[in-house]
Amino acid sequence: MIFPGEIPLYYEVSGSGRPLVLLHGNGEDRRVFDDLIPRLAEHFQVYALDSRCHGKSGTGELSYAAMAGDVAAFIRGLGLAKPGLLGFSDGAIVGLLLAIGQPDLLGALVSCGANTRPEEVRWWFRACVWAVHAVTRDPKLRLMLKEPDISPEQLSRIRVPTLVAAGSRDLMAQRYTRALAAAIPGSELAILPGRTHTGYIRRSAGLAALALPFLQAALPAGNA
């Protein structure tokens, strides 16, 4: 289906229950969640989006703020009342920005593999991105190199129930993920042992086992 916002957004809906929005990472689309969606759709109505400039969605200026605006318009346009949001990588950054800037929009946030500054990403990965960007000038790669810039003070404004998750072998060192969680009042932290950046998304049983109890507690069925 297409949501006809300022940038047309392609999305697919699965399951029934309280709404839960899924946001993928840089250079991906909703299909990165193919293993996770059936697990979540047993309990929630899952909305899996393609972000602007990705998948089947439209194109436009690319920034995390613009992507957050798209998702806010999507949630309001479909009348989703206090949905949960599970974001991975870039999608997690967008989720953090929504929770900071629009505190009444979400009912729960699961942030997977987020960074708050480009420098938190491991140097060898940034070096690879710089090298490819020098040749391709891909705006998606430039986004990773220049953004985000989220301060601990901004994170301290988040009031929505938040689960911060990452793999022990993620693209950010654990100290950054722990600092992110520590800056968000009342957040929960989960480090998935042995998992790489995409490993716990594409093989999602471990993530689902952590995220489902959190989401069910934060988004009880009858409080829509």
Strands 45-49 and 84-88: unpaired
Confidence of residue 79 (pLDDT cuts 50, 70, 90): very high
Mean pLDDT of 109-124: 97
pLDDT at site 222: 56
Is pLDDT at 221 greater than 80 in this prediction? no
Q: Which CATH class is domain 2-217?
A: alpha beta
> If residue 41 lies in a helix (H) or strand (E), which one and from where to where?
helix 37-41
Rg over CA atoms, the chain: 16
Residue ranges covered by each domain of the chain: 2-217
Confidence of residue 223 (pLDDT cuts 50, 70, 90): low
Phi, psi of 17 (to 5 degrees): 120, -155
Q: What percent of the chain has pLDDT over 90?
A: 97
As a whole number of angstroms, the distance between CA 32 and CA 14 comes to: 15
Tens-place pLDDT, residues 121-149? 999 999 999 999 999 999 999 999 999 99
pLDDT at site 44: 98
In contact, 11 and 3? CB cutoff 8 Å = yes
CA dihedral 182, 127, 196, 115 (to 10 degrees): 20
Mean pLDDT of 43-64: 97
**Which tokens sit at 77?**
């346009």
Mean pLDDT of 89-102: 98
pLDDT at site 220: 82
Min mean pLDDT across 16-20, 41-45, 90-94, 219-223 is at 219-223
Is pLDDT at 224 greater than 70 in this prediction? no
**What's the whole-number average pLDDT of the chain?**
96
Mean pLDDT of 202-212: 95
In contact, 25 and 88? CB cutoff 8 Å = yes
> What is the number of other CB atoms lying within 10 angstroms of the CB of residue 100?
20
